[in-house]
Amino acid sequence: MPKFTPGVGIVFKSYEPLDEMMAYAAMAEKVGLTGGMWIAEGYHWFRNYGKESRGAFVTLSACVAATKTIPIGLGITTPYIRHPTIIAAEAAALDEYSNHRFTLGLGVGAVGVRYLETDLEAQKPVPVHREAIEVIRGVLSGEAFSFEGEIFKAEVPAVAPGIMRHRPDLPVYIGATGKFMNLLAGRVADGLLLPGLVSSGFVRGARERLHKGFEKAGRTPAEPFPLGGVVLAAVSKDGDKAREATRGPTATYVVNKVKNIQNDEILTSSGVGEELLGPMRDAVRAGEQDLTSMVTDDFMRGFNVVSGTPDECVPILQDLIDAGMNLPLMEVVGPDAEANLESVRLLGEEVLPKLKLGAPS
C-alpha cells in the first residue's frame, strides 16, 4: 500500500459535463490540491433537480487525461449495481491508465439503489461490502481466485505472468454513514469516506467507530489512516455570493438524508437544533423537494459547509480537520463552471496555505 499523505481534494458528482470536469481537475492540480480529483457517481435520482447522470468510470478517465500528478478517486460507486468482478476490472484499467494514481471507493449509494427497488434489508450493506471487497482484492491480486459468499460468487483464473499493469494492492476505501459500515471500514478497508453534509461532530463519532473497527480486527494500520469526507464548498471574494451558492445544495442533501439515507445521526450530531431540523423533516415527508428557503447561514455553519470568502472558509474547514478529517473533499457547487473554477483556484491559493493538516486536536 502506498503511504497516505493528508491533503485537500475536490469532488464532483458525475452529472457535470465532461469538459468542465476536466477543467476542474486541471485547476486542482495547478493550485496544489494534493488530495486529488474525486468523482461520486451521480444517479438518476438527481434528475429531480435537473441533473444528468453519467457513468463514473468514463468521467474519471477524462479527469485522468487532464492531469499528471494528483490522485484520482472514485468516492463512491456501489456494488449493488455492478458485480465486484466488473468493478475490479474497471479499477484495474483506471489504475493502469493513471499511472497508479487511482483509489477505489465503495458505498451503498442509497440515493440510486433505493430507486432500483433494491431490498436493503435482505441485502444488508455490511455483508455486501465485506464480500465485495474480498472479491475485488482477489481479482486485483492477479492470482487464481474462487469465492462463494452469501451475496456474491466469483471464479477467476490467474493473470498470465508479466502482463499485469495495475497495482494488486490499489487502495479500496469504504464510503459509510452508519455505525456498522464505519466499523467495517476499520476492519477491512484502506480508508473511510464520510458522506455529504458531514459536520465536525459526525467526524468525531465516525473516527471513534473506525478505531473500534481496528480493535475488533486486531489491525494496527499505518498512520495517518485516510479519513475523508464530502464537504459542500463555494469560495468567492464575495462571501454572500458563495453562501447563496451552497444554500440550495445544502437543502438537497437534507432531502436526501431524510428520504433516502434514513440515518438521523448525521443530522443531529451537527448541533443544529430541532427548531431548524424539525420543520425541514416535516416538509420532506410532506413531499417538498426544494427546502432552500429554510437553509439559514447558521444551519450551514452547523454542518461545516465551507462557503464564504477565503478567510471565512479557513476556520470552517479547519474545524473538520481538527475533528479528525485528513482528506476533506470539497464538493464545489457554484452557479456555473466559471464560479466553480474560481472556487477551486481560491481553495488552493488562499485557503490551503492557512490550514494545519496535522493530527486531530
Tens-digit pLDDT profile for residues 78-87: 999 999 999 9
* Confidence bin at 191 (pLDDT 50/70/90): very high
pLDDT of residue 43: 80
pLDDT at site 10: 98
Is residue 262 over pLDDT 70?
Answer: no
Neighbouring C-alpha atoms within 13 Å toward the C-beta of 322: 10
Annotate 204-252 with DSSP letters as a single string.
HHHHHHHHHHHHHHT--PPSSPPEEEEEEEEE-SSHHHHHHHHHHHHHH
- pLDDT of 361: 65
- Give the pLDDT band of residue 165 (cuts 50, 70, 90): very high
Q: Where does the pLDDT of residue 14 fall: very low under 50, low under 70, confident under 90, or very high at 90 and above?
A: very high
Average pLDDT over the chain, rounded to whole? 94
Which of the following CATH numbers is that of domain 9-238+310-354: 3.40.50.920, 3.40.50.720, 3.40.50.300, 3.20.20.30? 3.20.20.30
Give the model confidence (pLDDT) of 312-351 as tens digits. Answer: 999 999 999 999 999 999 999 999 999 999 999 999 999 9
Q: Which three cell numbers stand for residue 106?
A: 465503495
Quote the CA–CA distance of 78 and 25 in Å, as a whole number: 23
Provide the H-helix boundaries in the chain: 18-30, 56-65, 84-97, 110-113, 125-140, 179-188, 200-217, 239-256, 265-268, 274-285, 297-302, 310-323, 337-346
Q: Which residue has the cell 467507530?
A: 209
Please tell me the predicted confidence (pLDDT) of residue 260.
67
Convert 100-125 to b/e letters by CB count within 10 Å (16 or more is b): ebbbbbbbbbbbbbbeeebeeeeeeb
DSSP 44: G
Mean pLDDT computed over 220-242: 97
Q: Domains of the chain: which residue ranges?
A: 9-238+310-354
pLDDT score, position 332: 98
Per-residue pLDDT band at 110 (split at 50, 70, 90): confident
